[in-house]
Amino acid sequence: MKKVTAIGIKEEGKPFRVVNTKVFRADLDSLPKGKYQIIAEKYKRKASPPQFRYLYGLVYPLSMIALNDAGYEFVNIDQVDAFWKSMFCLKEVLNRETGEIMKIPMSKSEFMTIDEMTYCDAIRNYCSEYLNAEIPDPDPNWKSNKNRINGNTREN
């Protein structure tokens, strides 16, 4: 059975409204017979593709160079990804049988926008403090720079 979701908006002094009510209603009506629970929770944005491009295109490669200069022997970005996730991206999972709390790496697909920013900052700070390597901030003007570069290449 598919999960039915919708985005709603609550504005000051106005009633709660569902965005695209007809589609949401149709999805609800298509559910099989039974009892259902509807929960409204604060909407949080997932990490964006530009954030992941920054992570995989700049943070991971520069941190891999810094780690290898410090004596590590990473050969690809997947190894660097696993290393950083084991340091800064652990979530606790309870084993109900034994009561043991295990720490496992969180999937980056679960990241909210703020989680991704915090994760990148933790890596950048570690590189700065312990590996003597500076990883630059993301370029806030990347869209205009991309358009400028694309415009220049089309002219040439």
Q: Which amino acid is at 17?
A: R
Decide if pLDDT at 146 tops 70.
no
In this predicted model, what pLDDT tens digit does every residue of 26-68 receive, in sequence order?
888 888 898 888 887 777 788 888 889 999 999 999 999 999 9
d(CA 21, CA 12) in angstroms, rounded, equals 20
* pLDDT (mean) for 98-127: 89
Three-class SS of residue 93? strand
Of all helices (H) and strands (E), which one includes residue 104?
Answer: strand 101-105
Asked if residue 4 belongs to a domain, the reply is yes
Is 86 in the same domain as 63?
Answer: yes
Number of domains in the chain: 2
Tell me, yes or no, whether 145 lies in a domain.
Answer: no
38/95 same-domain check = no
Alpha helices in the chain (DSSP H): 21-29, 49-54, 60-69, 77-88, 113-130, 142-155
User: What was the pLDDT predicted at 156?
Assistant: 46
**Full-model pTM:** 0.67
Computed over every residue of the chain, the mean pLDDT equals 86
Residues of the domain holding 9 = 1-43
